[in-house]
Amino acid sequence: MSDTLTTPAALPLTQLNEDEQLFRSTVREFAQKSIGPLVRQMDEEQHFSADLLPQLFNLGLMGIEIPMEYNGSGGTFFEAILAVEEISAIDASVGVLVDVQNTLCVNAFLRWGTEQQKKTYLSRLATDTVGAYALSEAASGSDAFALQTRAELRGDHYILNGQKLWITNAKEADIFIIFATLDPAAGYKGITAFLVEKDSPGFSIGKKEDKLGIRASSTCELILEDCRVPAENVLGEPGKGYKIAIETLNEGRIGIGAQMLGLAQGAWNCAAKYAQERKQFGKPIAEFQAVQFSLAEMATDIEAARLLVYNAARLKDARLSYIREAAMAKYFASQVAERVASQAVEIYGGYGFVKDYPVEKYYRDAKIGKIYEGTSNMQLATIGKLVLSGK
């Protein structure tokens, strides 16, 4: 009984210890002062500001869980979630860059990398190198393992051929975790994860997508034409890529939940401030019960999403089962983000529909939460399977 009570998951979920409070306030201040002034320009130009990357690395936000022996921050998964939340409250485009780096790329290396791979890549990811995670293809979305990208062993190296689509961080990244199949007839048992450098022969970055939201985040296709990858750059073991993909995405879904949570909080902050400033019929609209009720519902939804996201992150840090909780966190937080952002636009009225004010961007950014790293339907399928099985 005592062991259970002392696990992080048993703490009040939104209660932060002193270190976590300091970390959150530091990230919040950075996001407001350094990211905030760039948000509109980055969105309009569909370009991630190069000036932000060194700052993210210098603050240790790109290698939060990387041990200090590899030049990382030596922090927790929960702290990574806090960082994604606080940054996304200002700009979800920056939030997803930090999220993919920490919850997908770094975690994949920590769990499946050899000691040499950790020495080679974790120190780079912690200090100056962005990572990307490449699973999706034209015919491989929710059916994640219907891969067409092929890998063939030739002596001491593999040759990769194929195309990856919708890859986040593609323009900024120098290291890519790419999934390919050694044998299509073997189904998921042929899938293997490879570490591919940006300057690898036969590797190139294709078209950057013109997106509805998170427009500063680069989303590109990757092209592999007889791409040569050293055999020692297999992550995990040949044929074990499916396990790496599934388990890493389970962690990543908590990160997307945090991104959507932060986005919802950012939209609420704007709406609440505006409601106290905007006057109609001689008084602030915040004094009208309809507006108060709307803000109250939004705040309640956000707090419920925060409890789900924090719970999943605490469980992960405590090394307890969290697959169901991760799916619930992503599903619910993405629903909340879209709903809250929509209500924020309505509170702004006509002003909410124009780009002079921030809430229309929150609304556009929210939509992706129901789609990437597992659609809402896929989350419901996971939740339904687990709750019906009694697990």
- Given the residues 86, 221, 338, 373, the one annotated as active site: 373
**Is 225 designated active site?**
no
**164 forms bridges with which residues in the sheet?**
222
* Contact predicate 176/204, CB 8 Å: no
* Contact predicate 391/355, CB 8 Å: no
Write the DSSP assignment of 224-242 as a string of letters. EEEEEEEGGGEES-TT-HH
Half-sphere exposure of 17 (CA within 13 A, CB side): 7
Torsion of CA 328, 329, 331, 333, to 10 degrees: 150
Q: How far is CA 125 from CA 120, 130, 175, 311, in A?
A: 9, 6, 9, 27
The tokens for 187 are 């189904």
Residues 265, 85: Cα–Cα separation, whole Å: 9
The total of other beta-carbon atoms located within 10 Å of residue 113's CB is 18
Q: What is the number of residues in the chain? A: 391
The tokens for 188 are 């998921």
Residues 385, 391: Cα–Cα separation, whole Å: 9
Residues 118, 132: Cα–Cα separation, whole Å: 16
Q: How far is the first Cα of the chain from the last one, in angstroms, to the nearest whole number?
A: 20
Residues 172, 222: Cα–Cα separation, whole Å: 13
- Residues with a known catalytic role: 373
